[in-house]
Amino acid sequence: MIHRPSWFRDDEIMVSTAPTCGLTKGGRLLPLVDRTTGQRVQVPDPETGELVDAVDDQLKIDMEALRAGATTATLRFVKATEVSMRRAVPMYYDRRFDDAFDDDMKSERFRAFTSMTIGEAVKVGLLSIRNGHGSPTQSVRVGTVPYIKVSDLRAGLVNINPTNRVPFAIAEKFWRGRSSGLNAWDLICPERTSKNIGDFCMLMPGQEQVVTTKEVIVVRPGKKANFDPFYLMWALTLNIVRDQWRRVIFMQTNREDVGDRYLAIRIPIPRDADHATEVSQPFRDYYQNLAKARDELRAYFAAKPDHHFFIGTAEEGAADVADLEEDDAFSQ
């Protein structure tokens, strides 16, 4: 006869999202570190009384709480009907980030907002989402059209790497036409292979004609949206939104993957266009002022073509005439 623990439930499954289990990747004891001081926490040894390093083992704390009939921040029961073996990852069933979103939406700051998931926003036409173009091999990165990798998406901006550019003919194959299909102010986010999944960057004017790796998603306001890209950037960078990505990113053996689970992430929806403009004005000012400064610098390079510097899709100043003519042909 199989022993049934006191905490066992037929209709629920115990899930622990403990981030530590007392061991490092190398199999050594994982010391507990004070996050304020950065120093190791020390406790008396139960046998000798001498101070020794405390072990960071949240899983043990969860199991002791389970045995005592208590709960912790990382221990909860989930209805068995909600658990799928296709998504048997503990973090996926952690509701802390969703609860934090719900709590904030009830606060005075978000009183005038409603909310919906990204998937719902796509269905009703508030959002439009597409994937990246593809991934050209290293051997063809010898042209003038920038190829944007996941590592080029940092700190809210798309950073063009001049060593990763492909010929226009190759770009056309990945674009499936003469144009990239991208717009200025599009939001681009890594979809997999990177720790910065969920961090959105904005495509600046002049950067539209690039080839993006297939492992990104491109998001823009839909036809029925009552907000612009700057509001969308404001909403997607909120902590209560960004934290939800932790729940939907699953770790694979060689890379991280988000699949289509990001469609379940919830975002605040403004009351109307004026409301959206008001709350997102700092983002609008930042990106538009940055675009203005880029235009001024581009004008300087046009007058004094003796610099090696990248702003848009072509090298400013130092590029030869043929390269500039080709770039002009697809940057209109």
Mean per-residue pLDDT for 159-165?
88
Question: Residue 268 to residues 19, 104, 115, 161, 232: CA-CA distances in angstroms?
Answer: 29, 10, 4, 34, 9
Cα 228 to its chain centre, rounded Å, is 19
Q: Kindly report, residue by residue over 8-40, the tens digit of the pLDDT.
A: 888 999 999 898 999 998 899 999 999 889 999
CA dist., res. 196 & res. 255, Å (int):
12
- Domains of the chain, by residue range, sit at 127-283
Place of tokens 């990747």: 25
Q: What is the pTM of this model?
A: 0.81
pLDDT band at 237 (very low <50, low <70, confident <90, very high): very high
Domain 127-283: state its class.
Answer: alpha beta
Q: Kindly report, residue by residue over 129-145, the tens digit of the pLDDT.
A: 999 999 888 888 888 89
